[in-house]
Structures are given as C-alpha cells and as structure tokens.
Amino acid sequence: MKKYWIALATIAAGLMTANPACADDSARAQLERFSNDLETLHARFTQQVIGTNNELQDSSSGEVWLRRPDRFRWSYGGDFPELVVADGTRVWIYDEMLEQVTVKDQAAAAMDSPLSLLNDTDRLDDTFEVREAGALDGAALLELRARSMETEFERFLLGLRGDRLELIIMEDAFGLRTELRFSELVRNPEVDPGLFEFTPPAGVDVIGALPGAAQSR
C-alpha cells in the first residue's frame, strides 16, 4: 500500500480551498491564484520515497482526479497497481496484487494528515510555520513546518511555477522524504462523477467499515 496517499490527497484537496492573502509572485501568492475558482483537477504524477541515506526506496506513477470539496481518485500503475477512491463518506483502497480492499471512514482518515488543516486556511499559520523557501528547479517553494510535535510529517514543501502546483515534498520524523511531481495538470476539466464511486470486485477481501454488507477479514 502506498503509505502516503492520505497526505497527498488531502493537500491536493486542501489547495482547492486555500485562499492566502498575498500579492506578487511569491509561492504563497501563486498558491492563491492556483486555487482561485478551482473546482476539479486532473493530473499525472510521479512519486518517489527517499530514505535517510538518500537512497530511493520506492517509485511509482499514475493519475489523480479531484472534485471539490471531498472527492478524489488516485490511480497507481506499475508492478503493484493500486486504486484509492474517496466518495465523500468512505475511502476505498484497492490493492490488485493482494486482491484486497480496505475501507476507511473518510473524515477519520483525513485526520491522519496535518495537511487536512489546509481546508481551514484561517488556522494555517496557527498550525504551521509558513515561509517562503526559495526555489527548486525554477519552482517557488512554500514551506510548512508543523508547530506540534504530534504529527507524522514535520515539514512540507509546495513547489509552484506560473501559478501551477508542480511539486509536493513531505519529510517525516524518521528522515524519509516523499516527492510528488505533477505533470499535464488541467484545472476544471469535465470529470465523470463515476470516477469517485467504487464497488469492490467480486471475490476480493474487504477489510474495514462497509455498512450494509458482509465483510471478509
């Protein structure tokens, strides 16, 4: 299972409602312009997990779809395909190799990431130390450093170029760094509502809260 999907999905959904008050071409100003009037989003992505010795631990790629305020779909390809769908009530995580679906309450799952606070930007500066962090490969960086010690991730970097989100970097307390890079990003495309629905395939194990249906464990 891609362990960072909650944080990635939450930050992307949070960006849809971010509305920081700033002007010019700073990263925070670009974030404001990127999120203004954003309702849906589609992009391709690559994801790398890098260890404490700068070694590559995991690499994957796929596509993401988002619809404000609480729908998302992350599709990972490669040798270990995985699908993560949020329907507004539950999050479905389908591991094709394991033939297993894990179901989570979406509200509870969002709390696993401090980035859920981006949905309430009035609390952004209360919860994170927010500052401009220079540039990386030509993208302006906005740094979010958690004020609380009780968080999975200590630091986040958002990379923006031309009012577009290009990069998310997350660093945890153990020195692991996850880098997510977006490409072919489209704002407000027509998105099929069916992308945010999920029915477990016949014969797979279903683990978690699945109201009104039998479960396998």
Residue range of the domain that includes 132: 5-208
- In whole angstroms, what is the distance from residue 101 CA to residue 186 CA? 29
22 occurs within a structural domain: yes
Does residue 5 have a pLDDT over 70? no
* pLDDT score at 22: 46
* pLDDT score at 199: 94
208, burial (CB in 10 Å: exposed 0-12, middle 13-18, buried 19+): middle
Q: What is the CATH number of the domain that holds 146?
A: 2.50.20.10
For 138-161, what is each residue's pLDDT tens digit? 999 999 887 877 666 788 898 999
216 occurs within a structural domain: no
The mean of the pLDDT values for the chain is 80
Query: DSSP string spanning the chain?
Result: --TTHHHHHHHHHHHTT------TTSHHHHHHHHHTT--EEEEEEEEEEE-TTS-EEEEEEEEEEEETTTEEEEEE-TTS-EEEEE-SSEEEEEETTTTEEEEEEHHHHHTTSGGGGGGSGGGHHHHEEEEEEEEETTEEEEEEEESSSS-SEEEEEEEEETTEEEEEEEEETTS-EEEEEEEEEEES----GGGG---PPTT-EEEE--TTS----
For 43-68, what is each residue's pLDDT tens digit? 999 999 999 899 999 899 999 998 88
215 occurs within a structural domain: no
* pLDDT score at 150: 65
Residue 11 banded pLDDT, cuts 50, 70, 90: low
213 occurs within a structural domain: no
Query: DSSP string spanning 2-47?
Result: -TTHHHHHHHHHHHTT------TTSHHHHHHHHHTT--EEEEEEEE
217 occurs within a structural domain: no
214 occurs within a structural domain: no
45, burial (CB in 10 Å: exposed 0-12, middle 13-18, buried 19+): buried
For 184-214, what is each residue's pLDDT tens digit? 999 999 999 999 999 999 999 999 866 554 4
129 occurs within a structural domain: yes
pTM, rounded to two decimals? 0.78
Residue 118 banded pLDDT, cuts 50, 70, 90: very low
- In whole angstroms, what is the distance from residue 109 CA to residue 154 CA? 18
Domain count, the chain: 1
- With CA atoms as reference, report the closest residue to 182 among 28, 42, 66, 49: 42
Does residue 20 have a pLDDT over 50? no
50 occurs within a structural domain: yes
Percent of the chain with pLDDT over 90: 43
